[in-house]
Amino acid sequence: MTRTALALLALCGLAPALARALSQAEAFDLVRKFDDRQHNDGDFTGLCFLEQKEKDKSDVVRELVYYRRSEGQRLLMLFTKPKSEAGKGYLRIEKNLWLYDPGTGKWERRTERERIGGSDSRRGDFDESRLTEEFDIKWEADEKLGAYTAHKLLLTAKEGVDVAYPTARMWYDAATGNLLKRQDLALSGRLMRTALYPRWKKVYSESKKGDVWYPEQIYLYDEIERQNSTMVIIKQVDLRPLDANMFTKAWLEAKSR
């Protein structure tokens, strides 16, 4: 994967488009609907692969299983491959992110800026979307992304909310509401990371009595170390209920043995 993927995915070539500005309420409602589409009133299991490219290093492919529970905003991520990293995992408890290393048997608290498994991904790439809870939202423009007309929104983190980056720009497909592109910015305004979402899928949820959407692919580009990138491919999704006591340190420790 290279930056030419931007063109191949038809998500490049930004150009202004004639548009009526979205009101504050309309911009908020657009993101609220996006949040709701990813929300499941129950549990969620995803199997994914992370292909990581770094300058002057061999490519690394990791297999990761992640589990979510809407109640309590719970999240657990467990690496299963390669063998050298199998058993490592992350657990989100009461909005705190913890990393478990089976080699040392120790837990370490991590920030939202944590690079999951050393890749370009972050916790939010696997969690339910809660953008309306975490950010103030403002419409900036409508623009063309290849064949798409997109609403470009500026999201600014609310005071006291812990997020990976304080500011983000989002491009939502005007026709479907799907997120096409995201840029994460530092407090200084410097571009830190770009994410592309070329394909979204949906699966019916019995607990929600509706569809749950998830990105089948995510392309993540490090804008500081510009030769570094990560491709996330979500291969399988399962919405069946999980063990009641699964989202605990004890469960992850036992699974890692």
Chain segment 125-152, per-residue pLDDT in tens: 999 999 999 999 999 999 999 999 999 9
CA distances (Å), 3 to each of 138, 168, 216, 238, in order?
28, 20, 19, 32
Contact present, 64 and 79 (Cβ < 8 Å)? yes
Instruction: Look up residue 69 and give its two tokens.
Output: 């529970």
Give every CB contact of residue 211 below 8 A, 6+ residues apart in sequence. Answer: 37, 202, 203, 204, 205
Contact present, 24 and 217 (Cβ < 8 Å)? no
Phi, psi of 168 (to 5 degrees): -145, 145
Kindly report, residue by residue over 56-115, the tens digit of the pLDDT. Answer: 999 999 999 999 999 999 999 999 999 999 999 999 988 899 999 999 999 999 999 999
Tell me how far apart the alpha carbons of residues 2 and 5 are, in angstroms, rounded to a whole number.
6
- pLDDT the model gives residue 4: 45
More confident residue, 18 or 206: 206
Tell me how far apart the alpha carbons of residues 130 and 221 are, in angstroms, rounded to a whole number.
22
